Structure 1
Amino acid sequence: MFDIEDYKDVEPLPLTQDVTNEEELCRIMYCDEYKQVMALMRRMISKDELSVRALRLNSRAIELSPAFYTAWNYRFRIIEHLLKEETQLQGEGHDASYMLNKELDWLDEFTLNNPKNYQIWSYRQALLTQLYPHATFSREHPIMDLMLDDDSKNYHVWSYRKWCCAHFKTYGQEMAFTERFIKRDVYNNSAWSYRFSMLKHSDVDLDQELQFVLDKIEYVPQNISTWNYLGGLLQMMGTSDKLVEQLLQFSKKYIDESAFAYEFYARMSKLSGTANGKDVAQMYSHIADIDPIRDQWWNRKSLQADQGK
């Protein structure tokens, strides 16, 4: 429990001097508690105090400023030191395993209250990589599930889950995991990107995967995520004449309602040999007409196609 009285012996190191700098455009108006806590932490950092009370102070500092990366770095050094100096922990009635689990519990709660803070995830990675080698993927599931249930496109969480899979060498359930989110929202680009990153680690049949994405395109042809996924899948499967012809005819069905379908059709036309560079350039010019928001991009693609790029 944080108590400011525990730091009476610490001389604060103020954030700023109490003088007015005429060149300052706008002085930051810190609240009194913020100035007090940060001044104490600055002094303790300068003294390199790595104690249990320093950890309590650090917790309060991070609560006041969740994005303060210096505080996160300091916290890691405190935890690392306390694990090496178990006598301090034992004085608090703890051991290393207890402390690491409590730290992750604290971090879970903090994460739920700060869903867009990326320092959290870097800190978790550092803990699991350097200080907690016996952690398990299952221990990380609940917090990630809660975060994605709250915001299914939180790229911090998706990135962290990808890291966890690589760290724990666990990929078995990931394709099914993404399918749950894609079913909920077919436009979820985070889920599609994650699914593609997991594809090479799965034993899924590529023909079945092809049918999966084609079904999603038929459901919503205007979704760029599915067309991009299809393009990546095509690279994995190889551009056989049969597959290119299949995708040429498939994309042709949607060129009147989707600029992304038209682009894919242009690419398949070139691959199949049914269109030369100038033909493809004209297709991109037409896409620019039907998708004026991105007309500069399509015109650039048209110029590149015309130049044989």
Structure 2
Amino acid sequence: MEGFEDIQPLPITTELPDELCRIMYTDEYKETMGIARALIQKQEYSKRALDLTAKAIGLAPAFYTIWNYRFDIVMHMADQDEDAARLLNGELDWVDETTLNNPKNYQIWSYKQALLERHPSPSFKRELPVLELMISDDMKNYHVWSFRKWCVLFFHDFTHELSYSDLLIQKDVYNNSAWTHRMFVLKHSNPDQKQIQLELEYVKEKIQQVPQNVSSWAYLQGLYENFLSGSYDTSIVQFAQMLTNNVTESPETAQTSWPEIDSSYALEFLATVYAKKDSTKKKAVKAYQALADKYDSIREPYWQRQISMLE
């Protein structure tokens, strides 16, 4: 390979005749990885080694050893550069370009974290555009959401997060990733009771828009369990009852005549609330039975299990 004439590539295969399953590497791959192995062995931290890792990552984006070698090279260069921030910013730019072609590559995101941890002046603002681009491309990309959460904690910056999750929820109220991120932000930002009351009104509004949405009901329950000591007030019970046609309040109903309701998740919510007190456990049993009989019969064994735990 040009520029590496002085390097004897190390073999990446054993070439043993009794190999169970020999991998058919291309000549380009064998040459590139063979040179990379030789450079790693020599502990060479040069510009040409850095360029080679870019080629190797292009051939095998998930090759952890090459990512680790690249990091060692960059750190070595940063230690010798008077403007380490400029060098690391350039490396972050390169990572962003690579990320666009490998959005679900775990190594990329851990590599970015390692760079930011060593950066003399890291910036969350710099990370936001690529994060928003990646999330808009795939709303459920676990790696991107995990990295965003890491950034929020690393930079101790919650400024953008509630408004950003709201934007995503407005676009798609079923976006469970956005609801989960919103709860994550609340758990780590120490909201006061006024903020929690605003969140309760927020999620109730979203539930009224789409009653049959498990994400918003889970968020509502999370608010009570995490910030209100699991103490469900009368108003929220009445709110859920309105969406269940008061199934739990009516006289005993035959299995074949359960009324229509707006939300099975509202009924599950009520069952959870009622199961907390001995005085309302019968209502919880009725709610679970209604779910088993009609509103969520596909999970009948689960609902029957819930009933057995109460009786």
Q: TM-score scaled to structure 1, two decimals? A: 0.87
> 2:301 and 2:68 mapped to 1: Cα distance?
44
> 2:105 and 2:298 mapped to 1: Cα distance?
32
Counterpart in the other structure of 1:52: 47
Q: Does 1:261 align with 2:262?
A: no
Counterpart amino acid of residue 135 in structure 2: L
Counterpart amino acid of residue 176 in structure 2: N
> 1:27 and 1:300 mapped to 2: Cα distance?
51
Q: Does 1:115 align with 2:106?
A: no
Q: Does 1:250 align with 2:239?
A: yes
Where structure 2 has 5 or more consecutive residues not aligned to the other structure, the ranges are 245-260
Counterpart amino acid of residue 209 in structure 2: Y
**Stretch moving more, 200-209 or 73-82:** 200-209
Counterpart amino acid of residue 208 in structure 2: E
> 1:79 and 1:247 mapped to 2: Cα distance?
55
> 2:299 and 2:65 mapped to 1: Cα distance?
41
SS at match of 2:2: helix
> 2:28 and 2:289 mapped to 1: Cα distance?
60
What is the RMSD computed on CA atoms of the aligned residues? Answer: 2.1
Counterpart in the other structure of 1:66: 61
**Stretch moving more, 278-287 or 179-188:** 278-287
Counterpart amino acid of residue 11 in structure 1: Q
Aligned residues of 1:12 and 1:39 also touching (Cα < 8 A): yes
Q: Indicate how the Cα distance of structure 1 residues 259 and 80 shifts in structure 2: closer, same or farther if over 3 A, else same.
A: same
Q: Does 1:283 align with 2:287?
A: yes
Q: Tell me how far 1:232 sits from its aligned partner.
A: 0.8
Q: TM-score scaled to structure 2, two decimals? A: 0.86
Q: Does 1:171 align with 2:154?
A: no
Q: Does 1:128 align with 2:116?
A: yes
Could you tell me which of 136, 154, 159 is aligned with 1:149? 136
Q: Tell me how far 1:47 sits from its aligned partner.
A: 2.0
Counterpart amino acid of residue 159 in structure 2: G
Where structure 1 has 5 or more consecutive residues not aligned to the other structure, the ranges are none
Identity %: 47
Q: Does 1:229 align with 2:219?
A: yes
Counterpart in the other structure of 1:207: 197
Q: Tell me how far 1:145 sits from its aligned partner.
A: 1.5
Q: Indicate how the Cα distance of structure 1 residues 215 and 273 shifts in structure 2: closer, same or farther if over 3 A, else same.
A: farther
Report the number of matched residues.
290
> 2:30 and 2:300 mapped to 1: Cα distance?
51
> 2:40 and 2:305 mapped to 1: Cα distance?
53
Q: Does 1:27 align with 2:5?
A: no
